[in-house]
Amino acid sequence: MQDNKHLPRPTAGRRAGIPTPRAVLAPLALLACGTQATAHSHMPGQAAGKAHRERPNILVILCDDLGYGDLACYGQPYIQTPHIDRLASQGMLFTQAYAGSPVSAPSRASLMTGQHTGHCAIRGNREYWSGDVTYGPNHEYAVTGQHPLDTAHVVLPEIMKEQGYHTAQFGKWAGGYEGSVSTPDKRGVDEFFGYICQFQAHLYYPNFLNRYSRTRGDTSVVREVLWGNARHAMSGEDYRKRTQYSADLVHRRAMEWLARQEKGKPFFALMAYTLPHAELVQPDDSLVTHYRQKFLQDKNYPGNRGSRYNATMHTHAQFAAMVSRMDCYVGELMRELEQRGLAENTLVIFTSDNGPHEEGGADPAFFGRDGKLRGLKRSCHEGGIRIPFIVRWPGHVAAGSTSDHQLAFWDVMPTLCQAIGIHDYARRYAHSGGDTFDGLSFLPTLEGEPMRQRIHDHLYWEFGETNQVAVRRGNWKMVAKRGKPALYDLGTDLHEDHDLSARYPGILAQLVEIARAEHRNAPLFPVTMP
């Protein structure tokens, strides 16, 4: 494994028209020393009463397509992630955490709603486009975005806002198209900057981003056109002339918002960064140079105009640098919390929306990105849905701890509700008409009280775009493809190589019955049930 202290100082390169965040301008090794968040020697329960009386700030850092095996603290040998590793050393690392879905929009919907994909309104990356607008040589849709979240069902920012929290989201929305019934301004978010259009999010040098800011007096979501990009074409050689790198823009806006937060005024922030989602392109600075020197035999990608993934050189170096850049952002967030005296009372979650991708020239096999799990993004096998998940909360979560507790994204809502003192969230926030919440709080696990921890009887996923359904119950796992089920024992076959359906038909029948019971018909997102 590479020594983190040897990672070089990132320096500006091509496309340096937008200032780079402080985290990227300093050596990772120095930032590792400069981030002063310290581990606590006392056990979690000792400070629980005080922390509960003073409601915690909540910071959720959600990466895009970061696989289970992409971080050094999860065994990645090639990519250096000192700040995220430090976060894990100061908190709890989960080994059996699951995304809501094997793709972005439904996974994020599960996080926001506390529902699994058999119940929530968004079950796939369905997009809406209409109209036309021109930016320089580029034609864009006037209405863009994805299927809206159910307005009758409460989402996390709405709960937090109702509880007096300042609320913010930066990065990818994935909860409704422009002008729909479910945009950030309508769902409890005070401050938003990032992507509402997922198709636009395929570019790191996009034509525009979206903004909603109560502090600026916005009354609805607006577009911010990035003219340093839009005056150049979206593909070909002219694309390389674009200067406004969206990951830095979003992170900088997030840091500006975080710098305005004060003690005694709790906040809820979802940092939904797009790194390391394809396309594999970024400023050509010393982060990229460092990894180019490590991967002397690298690959190139010719580009695909239909997907908006542009050509890139040195794909291994690009991907590794993207993960390390994300790590720099995490280091800067934590440093800001420390400098403002907010770190001790902030519950931090770091995770990813699904398993690793192979689009845009990515090479997950080279990095072992599936963490020895079968499947990638869009698969209901473990590689598509098992994700890194780290929680830091001083005084509650024991530093350097590890948990094999089985949790999923729909457990985040009840956990955060319980952490801020709402113990009856399902009764309090359910609307009439059969509304459901599927999660179980894992706060007892965080606070080192496993005897109080409720355990899921089963976990459930469905994904119509690849026509897959999955159920996990204990170590048993059923994956149905186009209605045909297979049965695996994860205790002895983590890679899901051996179908045990014929040997254990009774167990298979039980899991099939669970799947049928958990599924509610959704005509826009059809799937074949086993």
CATH number at 521 reads 3.30.1120.10
From residue 416, how far is each of 55, 348, 349, 420, 442 by CA, in Å?
11, 11, 10, 6, 9
Task: Give the orientation angle of helix 315-339 with respect to helix 82-89, to 10 degrees.
Answer: 50
Residue 225: half-sphere exposure toward Cβ, Cα within 13 Å: 12
Asked if residue 181 is part of any domain, the answer here is yes
Residue 97 shares a structural domain with residue 245 = yes
Residue 477 shares a structural domain with residue 425 = no
pLDDT value, residue 306? 72
pLDDT value, residue 394? 97
How many other C-beta atoms can be found within 10 angstroms of the C-beta atom of residue 448? Answer: 18
Is the preceding omega at residue 279 within 30 degrees of 0, hence cis?
yes
Q: Is 347 helix (H, G, I), strand (E, B) or coil?
A: strand
Residue 465 shares a structural domain with residue 383 = no
| Among 127-131, 210-214, 401-405, the least confident range | 127-131
d(CA 123, CA 249): 29
Residue 296: alpha-carbon gap to chain centroid = 31
Asked if residue 4 is part of any domain, the answer here is no
Q: Who's near 393: CB < 8 A, 6+ residues apart? A: 51, 56, 91, 346, 347, 348, 419, 446
Domain boundary at 456, 491, 506, which? Answer: 456
Q: What single letter denotes the amino acid at residue 226? A: L
From residue 93, how far is each of 378, 405, 432, 523 by CA, in Å?
24, 10, 37, 38
How many other C-beta atoms can be found within 10 angstroms of the C-beta atom of residue 43? Answer: 13
Domain boundary at 419, 440, 456, which? Answer: 456
Asked if residue 403 is part of any domain, the answer here is yes
Asked if residue 104 is part of any domain, the answer here is yes
Residue 323 shares a structural domain with residue 468 = no
Residue 446 shares a structural domain with residue 330 = yes
pLDDT of 263 above 90: yes
CATH number at 341 reads 3.40.720.10
| Among 428-437, 442-451, 478-487, the least confident range | 428-437
From residue 363, how far is each of 17, 104, 284, 357 by CA, in Å?
29, 19, 20, 8
Rounded average pLDDT over 340-368: 96
Q: Which residues of 481-504 are buried (b: 16+ CB within 10 A; e: fewer)?
A: beeebbbbbbeeebebeeebeeee
pLDDT value, residue 235? 86
Domain boundary at 456, 486, 521, which? Answer: 456
Rounded average pLDDT over 442-458: 97
| Host domain of residue 530 | 458-530
d(CA 504, CA 498): 12
Asked if residue 18 is part of any domain, the answer here is no
Tens of pLDDT, residue by residue over 133-143, are 999 899 888 88
Q: How would you classify the pairing of strands 57-63 and 267-272?
A: parallel
Tens of pLDDT, residue by residue over 83-109, are 999 999 999 999 999 999 999 999 999
Residue 452 shares a structural domain with residue 463 = no
Asked if residue 12 is part of any domain, the answer here is no
Asked if residue 35 is part of any domain, the answer here is no
d(CA 401, CA 175): 33
Q: Who's near 523: CB < 8 A, 6+ residues apart? A: none
pLDDT of 12 above 90: no
Rounded average pLDDT over 405-428: 97
d(CA 239, CA 206): 10
d(CA 79, CA 90): 20
Residue 452 shares a structural domain with residue 469 = no
Residue 244 shares a structural domain with residue 340 = yes
Is the preceding omega at residue 276 within 30 degrees of 0, hence cis?
yes
d(CA 358, CA 380): 16
pLDDT value, residue 42? 34
pLDDT of 15 above 80: no
pLDDT value, residue 23? 34
Rounded average pLDDT over 383-405: 98
As given in the structure block, the two tokens for residue 350 are 């770091």
pLDDT value, residue 503? 98
Tens of pLDDT, residue by residue over 39-63, are 333 334 433 444 445 899 999 999 9
Look at the chain and report how many structural domains it folds into: 2
pLDDT of 31 above 90: no
Rounded average pLDDT over 520-524: 97
d(CA 188, CA 157): 5
Residue 383 shares a structural domain with residue 489 = no
pLDDT grade for 370, boundaries at 50, 70 and 90: low
pLDDT value, residue 38? 34
Q: Nearest to residue 80, comparing CAs of 363, 291, 251, 244? A: 291
Asked if residue 1 is part of any domain, the answer here is no
Residue 215 shares a structural domain with residue 297 = yes
Residue 509 shares a structural domain with residue 436 = no
Range list of H helices, 163-209 = none
CB 238 within 8 A of CB 7: no
Q: How would you classify the pairing of strands 92-98 and 57-63?
A: unpaired
Rounded average pLDDT over 220-233: 95
- 313 burial type by CB count under 10 A (0-12 exposed, 13-18 middle, 19+ buried): middle
CB 446 within 8 A of CB 92: yes
As given in the structure block, the two tokens for residue 407 are 């949790």
pLDDT of 10 above 90: no
Residue 266 shares a structural domain with residue 342 = yes
Instruction: Tell me the pLDDT of the chain averaged across its residues.
Output: 90
From residue 185, how far is each of 175, 279, 360 by CA, in Å?
12, 28, 32
